[in-house]
Structures are given as C-alpha cells and as structure tokens.
Amino acid sequence: MNICFGIWSTRGASGLSNASILSIKELAYSFNDGKPIFEYMSLNVNKGEFVSIIGASGSGKSTLFKLVTGLLEPGQGEILMNGQSQPKRLGTVGYMPQKDLLLPWRTVIDNVLLPVELTKQNKPKKRTEAQEWLTRFGLAEYEQAFPHELSGGMRQRVAFLRTLMMGKDLLLLDEPFGALDSLTKRNMHGWLLGLWGELAKTVLFITHDLEEAILLSDRIYLLKGKKGIQEVKINLPRPRNSELIYQPEFMSMRKELEWLIHHEN
Ligand SMILES: Nc1ncnc2c1ncn2[C@@H]1O[C@H](COP(=O)(O)OP(=O)(O)O)[C@@H](O)[C@H]1O
Ligand SMILES: [Mg+2]
C-alpha cells in the first residue's frame, strides 16, 4: 500500500502537558423519550493526549461526540474547552462522524476543501496544503477521483484529511476504522500512530476494538452505561507500532481491560 508512514516521532505520554483541552463535568443527557444516556458523566482530556472511548453499541459514544461538538446541548453539566465554559461550541473542534459522509458528487480534493470553503479561508493556499497532504497520504493520483472510486481505507484517509483541514487542535474521531478489514485497519493504525506523533493534535477516539484502543491510546475511558465511566491508563512506551500487539505487556493489558469490561467495579 502506497502510504507514507512518516518518521516515528518520540512524542509520547511523558511529554504531555497537563493543560486540559476538554473537560466534561457531571454531564446528563436524554433524548425525547426521557431515558438518560448519561447521568453525571465526567471526563478530562489533556492537550496532546490520545484518548479512546470504548463502550457497547448504544452506550452513547456518538451522542457524547455530538454533545462535545455542539450539535446537541447537554441537559445538565458542563463542557469546558481549554478550561473555559464554551456555550458556542459548533466549529471549535475537528469532527469525523461515524459515517465518512464524503459528498459523492465532489472529487477527493473538493471534499477535502469543504471546511475551507465553509469557513472562507484562503482557498489557493489551502489547496496547495491539501495537495501536499494527499501526496503524503498516498492519494496524490486520486485528487480528481470521486469517493465511489476509492477503497474503504482511502475514503477514511480522505475523511480524516478533511477533518484535519478544519485546522482545530482537538480531533474527535468516531470509529474511523470500524468498517475496514483487519489488514487495512492494521495499516491505518501504523499510519495514524505516525501522524499523531508528528502533529501537535489531541485525539479523542471512539472504538469498540480493544486492541486498537490499547495500541493507540494514552488512556481509555470505558463507558459502562448506568455504571458510569471508568478510566484506564495505558502505560506502554512510545513510539509504538502495530507489532506491539504481540508483546507480553500488551497482552496482559488486554486481559486486564477485558476483565474490567466484563466485571462490576
Ligand atoms: N436522534 C436520536 N433520537 C433518539 N434516540 C437516539 C438518537 N440518537 C441515538 N439515540 C439512542 O441513544 C443511544 C445511544 O446512541 P449512540 O450515541 O449512537 O450510541 P453508540 O455510538 O455508543 O453506539 C441508543 O440507544 C440510540 O438508540
Ligand atoms: Mg456510534
């Protein structure tokens, strides 16, 4: 696969700042049926961290992201960005929804430049930047292709690049690799690890794949429905690559997490 993996960076948990970029305090939310999705849910993400959220299907992961982006408003509780309460959150984070939602009638480059158009930034400059990224993502020759001409992995890279072009420090990625076959997924993990090491971005990442969460994350939050939320630190050295999953320390971390998921606190 023609993907540029970049140089493994030495950025890792030890180099993280302690400044909070996102802090959720005692959040409660229910849809019109009145059944609570969250009750007094709190979590914190520091600048530069890679944090995953794991939970069963229907546990509210995508809803949580919609609350953070400002597409939904919490019934109760606070969502702080950089330590400040932020009532107008729309457009303040980079958001990659669960479905890639590439516009089928737009070419790859025009999909990538959508956020640039919407925010009326300098388009020629951003076009050059987007073209450089497409080259680095192994997609240069697909610049004028349409989404249906791409493989699943390519579509996800385009959707990720579009999220990146929003130019925000905090990226919310909702199961970006959920629909990919395991080999493509493995490649995408290497790709994302390399990229995250290079970019000064904070990532909040939804997945139901335990292995993926351990490999990528500094910390994991387990969403456990009415039992609340549980934080797990992943103390594995960085830089990491996808071979790490065969190491004994990775396997014991995985066993520990499986136990936590299936047992009461
Ligand atoms: N727009 C909506 N109206 C009513 N209920 C919803 C809506 N969106 C999601 N839900 C419900 O909220 C719960 C959480 O959904 P969701 O956040 O999509 O879960 P997850 O992403 O963890 O699979 C589910 O029970 C789902 O059916
Ligand atoms: Mg979801």
pLDDT at site 71:
94
pLDDT tens digits along 24-44: 999 999 999 988 898 889 999
What is the 3-state secondary structure of 152-203?
HHHHHHHHHHHHHCCCCCEEEEECCCCCCCHHHHHHHHHHHHHHHHHCCCEE
CA-to-CA distance for 135 and 149, rounded, in angstroms? 17
Q: Is the pLDDT of residue 264 over 70?
A: no
pLDDT at site 151:
93
Q: How far is the CA of 175 from the centre of ligand 2 (A)?
A: 7
Coil vs helix vs strand at 240: coil
pLDDT tens digits along 46-105: 999 999 999 988 899 999 999 999 999 999 999 999 999 988 899 899 999 988 689 999
pLDDT at site 265:
56
Section 186-212 average pLDDT? 92
Q: How far is the CA of 213 from the centre of ligand 2 (A)?
A: 15
167 Cβ neighbours under 8 A, 6+ residues apart: 94, 115, 121
State the DSSP code for 251. Answer: H
Residues with CB under 5 A from ligand 2 (ion): 61-62, 98
pLDDT at site 17:
65
Q: Is the pLDDT of residue 243 over 60?
A: yes
Within 6 A (CB) of ligand 1 lie 31, 37, 55, 57-63
Other residues' Cβ atoms within 10 Å of the Cβ of residue 233: 11
Q: CA torsion 75→89→113→102, rounded to 10°?
A: -10
Q: Is the pLDDT of residue 7 over 50?
A: no
Section 103-115 average pLDDT? 96
Section 101-122 average pLDDT? 91
CA-to-CA distance for 265 and 261, rounded, in angstroms? 9
Q: How far is the CA of 124 from the centre of ligand 1 (A)?
A: 39
CA-to-CA distance for 172 and 64, rounded, in angstroms? 10
Nearest ligand to residue 37 Cα: 1
Q: Is the pLDDT of residue 171 over 90?
A: yes
The mean pLDDT value of the chain amounts to 89
Q: Is the pLDDT of residue 211 over 50?
A: yes
Q: How far is the CA of 117 from the centre of ligand 1 (A)?
A: 30
pTM over 0.85: yes
